[in-house]
A = this chain, B = another copy of it.
Amino acid sequence: MKGQMQTSLKEPFNREKQFANKRRAVIRAAGEAFRRRGYHNTSMTEIAKALGLTKTALYYYVNSKEEILFECHIMVYDAFDECVKEHKGKGANGLSELSTVFSELVKLLTRDGLSLLTDVSSLSGNWQKDVLKRRGKIESRVTDIVKRGMKDGSIRGGDPQLTVFFFMGALNWLNAWYAPGGRLSGDLIAEQFTAQMRNGLAA
């Protein structure tokens, strides 16, 4: 009988895993480019070249450019979801839960790789619908935290949705100015942003 190696060592020889990895790399590279130059200013050929590939090779891993954009959105939202779930219900009160989550989200976005795209209008039909639904879900989860905080008295009153819109803007705007390795580190940003958000809401 053949000896079975550990899964981790077998992984590099696992075809499906390899495929999935490469596919993810494509999405990542594309996301990076989209973030910097925008979806429509980035051609498939460019994405391919960045990976040392040919445009045609890309299409072996992906069905369309639009699909890539879609997956870029989903990738971030998955990470967001995980982050929110991880802290769900924890923290002394709504405000402190919110602070933790917000801080983690900033760190997530400044740790290179993931970037929050804003170009939803370039997605058509169901794709756009799905992404918007997804965004809505996350926003409403965060809104729930805010509501919790308003109930337990840690967060000042006001329209909860509007409250969320305000600081979600800060996250989305990150892409426009944040440069990894620049004067402002991810941790610094997380710290100051969180303080600013927290004080803005504290009762």
A195 proximity list for chain B (CB < 8 A)? 158
A108 to chain B, nearest CB (A): 16
**A200–B202 Cα gap in the complex (Å)?**
9
Interface size on A, residues (CB 8 A): 42
Give the contacts of A38-76 with B (CB-CB under 8 A). 38-41
Stretch at the interface among A7-15, A90-98, A118-126: A118-126
Number of copies: 2
Contact A167 B165 (CB under 8 A): no
Is A163 interfacial (CB 8 A cutoff)? yes
Contact A121 B173 (CB under 8 A): no
**A159–B197 Cα gap in the complex (Å)?**
15
Given B165, B176, B202, which contacts A170 in the complex, CB threshold below 8 Å? B165
Contact A201 B192 (CB under 8 A): no
Contact A172 B176 (CB under 8 A): yes
A193 proximity list for chain B (CB < 8 A)? 162, 166
Contact A188 B170 (CB under 8 A): no
**A161–B166 Cα gap in the complex (Å)?**
18
A53 to chain B, nearest CB (A): 23
